[in-house]
Structure 1
Amino acid sequence: MKPYPLQFKPEMKERVWGGRALEQFGLELPDGSIGEGWMIGDHPNGTTKVMNGELAGLGLDEVRERFGAELFGSKGFSEKSGRFPLLIKLLDCNDDLSVQVHPSDDYAGLPAGELGKTEMWYILDAKPGAKIVYGLKPGTDEAAFQASIEEDRIMDTLQEVTVEAGDSFYIPAGTVHALGAGVLVAEIQQNSDTTYRLYDYKRPGLDGKLRELHVEDSLNVTDYEGKSATRMKTDLQAHNEWLRLASSPYFITDKGRVEGRWSLQTSADSFVILIACEGTGALTWDEGSLEVKPGDCFLLPASLGGYALEGSFTVLRSMVP
């Protein structure tokens, strides 16, 4: 089989905080409040299937089992789970998400076979005044944080940040965080579905019952210093050049602005994931081309070699280091 860029049918997840905004990308949404589109996933809770080309109909897990390092690269697997190492999502936050924190790979309380969860957010769109929770206020230690939870004043200890389209947030495991209402987000993360909730605004879940909180686990995994969490504006002055947004042991993510034709290359070490943010164009390679529009996500095999981005659009590129 000759390698080619893969597109997947997203798995849509209903969430109490979700809405219908993902429809603007031309995605088919089931009924309900859809908060997450799992665009590229190889997880027991959601495995996406290829939509195009010779591999159409196969799940990402089946592609992994059949073609392995040939498509994903020598570093393209989780050493712990053996699965595809990343999970790519689009998030529609019609309401506030729970205040939450994620564990690292070495946390003893992780479910069997599950990874920790370091992630990043790129804000695709934000309503005026939209905010997120991003870390603890300086000087908040474990005792102060625990007291704020027990006394029902956790929001007093959290940093809130007003966001706009183009903002980027790196969220290493241990960072307390929450997306606020009115934001649309591209999320690049470790292939994990483990979240510890600290606070959920006392609202009922989809089943009408209060959702479970995980205070003990959250206190155990929280990074009270928060020094490795970083954020940035991503305005691009030049085109056809990469701006580094995040660099972690699990993924590297860059942003670029395509104008005209931009010739690029994959390496034998890693697949490449592309997420189109705004504008339109095409992804071309020796054997063909694909239209590119906002919300599109592509998995480029490590063995693809040369490819090009053509048109006028912004794009995120993620790889494993």
Structure 2
Amino acid sequence: MKIKIKLLSVCILGSGFSGFETVQAYDLPVVNLGFTSFLDGGPPAGSGWYFQEYFQSYSADRLRDKDGKALGLPKQQLDYQVAVTQLTYLSDIRIGNAALGMNALLPFVTRMDVDDGLNNAAIKGQSGFGDLLLGPMIQFDPIMGPDGPRFVHRIELQVNLPTGKYDSKHDVNPGANAWSFNPYWAGTYWFTPKWTASVRAHYLYNGKNNDPGPGFGDADDIQAGQALHANFATEYAVTPQLRLGINGYWLKQITDTKVDGHEVSGRREKVWAIGPGAMYSFSKDDHVFLNAYFEQDVENRADGSRVQMRYIHHF
């Protein structure tokens, strides 16, 4: 697409690159790629309030087209840092063997550097607050075995609200200027009391952006395609406090983006990533995660790596 790129890796999305025939897509809004990892199927300390803070640094030196080839720009550098604040409440309201709860997340892009080798004639970005994410959830009770929990899982109906900073004159924006519905199922299975595996699987449906970026010319609206994405992880408790393991994520766009209601082919995104991770528990109420991800088989997206730290506190 000569028209537009959405550069999204964690909490960033953009609205367009113009003037280059080789540019093809990057339309999807921000989604959870690697934010969550170990022991994802349930909260660590039961009901109540949880505070979580994420700090993530992402760096890419390639922007890929639909064939996985680098775009025809002199430079293709994207670096940013983002902080995400999350509040979770797990209530004592019961439905059978499950409890009701609520999540709220707000990202803030603290630093954004883009370099196209053309004095940013092709790519312009900005920092600021991203879109607010809200999600009612149902947390099922763990299934217990003779030596402790064997399986626990959760369903959340997450909605992304277009509250973030957005300017159609910029190519990379913290906000999407469109709502999206991004429900998920998350589960954790204990192979042994020390060894677990976790999966979080999402479906993404996007609303319309009625103020497209400059790369879309006179278009009145765009609607990013639907997608599937998931996080996966496995870890082992080497001590009662320290867990070490492997974490990753996967994304595949499954329908075409629409421009003024018409499907446009050649814009579907895909990526997967894998890397090492660690979790340290100071107590049952305080935990720190450190995760790294290295992206593979990228199409229609930025191609890079990220490092993340996540802190959880239970009140």
What range is the shorter-chain TM-score in? under 0.3
Q: TM-score, normalised by structure 1?
A: 0.24
Q: TM-score, normalised by structure 2?
A: 0.25
